[in-house]
């Protein structure tokens, strides 16, 4: 039997990138995946092929009423919600003095408020059934500051602490809550940022100790672990999946010593 057989999973931001990779992995592991995004996806037939009841709906995660109605519809159809992955997110930033208020609001609304609304929409169901795994997608940029990161760093740092708070408040009701902090992962969002700045991509790759960008499937693997029974005693944690980016700084010393 597949590890997630019979589980019902909601994945936000499921049309592309990390959200799509999570939907594909969960479906292959036997879950029914109810994804949502603000856009359609040409890749979703692969999810449905693995799990026929799965589907992708159009939903804005900043709309609390829509999120609540979406979760209620899932419960009405399937009777429960076992897994939530909050992969919806946007990137933006700049030094505070150069960042306009509208850009700040947009990033906070989608990345942080959207995560809160997604959790709020499912938490009572999970608490009532005395089980559930909430997996938020934060970032290494929520752990350490990044030059020009400002609002993105702030939003992802907020996601990490919100995730821990949910673990504290709902653990005794059987709900687990953990954050994944991806490093620099090859996704459409990252590609849009890096393509105009090849020097930045080269620097990030150099500082990633495995010497490459990550793949969305590698984050999906971490999410699968947190969703599975193998993580039954794991809650309130921040799982960093970054190829060693946050391990420390590289200054070329080992290369000078011949270790290449």
**Residues with a known catalytic role:** 152
Residue 24 CA neighbour count, 13 Å, CB half = 19
Length of the chain: 260
The pair of three-digit structure tokens given for residue 183, joined into one six-digit string: 């490093």
- Run of H or E residues at 11: strand 8-12
CA-nearest of 256, 10, 260 to 132 is: 10
Are the C-beta atoms of 180 and 13 separated by less than 8 Å? no
Q: What would the DSSP string read from start to end of 106-154?
A: HHIIIIIIHHHHHHHHHHHHHHHHT-EEEEEE--GGGTS--TT-HHHHH
CA dihedral 26, 60, 88, 24 (to 10 degrees): 20
């Amino acid at each position: 039997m597949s590890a997630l057989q019979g589980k019902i999973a909601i994945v936000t931001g499921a049309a592309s990138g990390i959200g799509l990779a999570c939907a594909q992995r969960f479906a292959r592991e036997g879950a029914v995946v109810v994804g949502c995004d603000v856009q359609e996806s040409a890749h979703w037939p692969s999810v449905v092929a693995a799990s026929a009841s799965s589907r992708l709906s159009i939903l804005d995660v900043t709309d609390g009423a829509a999120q609540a109605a979406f979760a209620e519809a899932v419960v009405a159809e399937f009777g429960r919600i076992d897994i939530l992955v909050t992969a919806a997110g946007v990137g933006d930033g700049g030094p505070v003095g150069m960042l306009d208020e509208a850009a700040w609001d947009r990033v906070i609304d989608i990345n942080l408020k959207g995560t809160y609304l997604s959790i709020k929409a499912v938490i009572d169901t999970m608490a009532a059934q005395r089980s559930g795994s909430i997996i938020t997608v934060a970032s290494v940029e929520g752990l350490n500051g990044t030059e020009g990161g400002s609002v993105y760093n702030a939003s992802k740092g907020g996601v990490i602490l919100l995730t821990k708070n949910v673990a504290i408040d709902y653990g005794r009701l059987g709900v687990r809550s953990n954050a994944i902090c991806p490093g620099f992962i090859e996704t459409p969002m990252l590609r849009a940022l890096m393509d105009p700045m090849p020097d930045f991509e080269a620097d990030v790759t150099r500082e990633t100790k495995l010497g490459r960008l990550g793949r969305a499937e590698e984050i999906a693997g971490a999410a699968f672990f947190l969703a599975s029974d193998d993580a039954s005693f794991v809650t309130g944690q921040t799982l960093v999946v970054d190829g060693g980016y946050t391990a420390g700084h590289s200054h070329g010393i080992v290369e000078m010593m011949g270790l290449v």
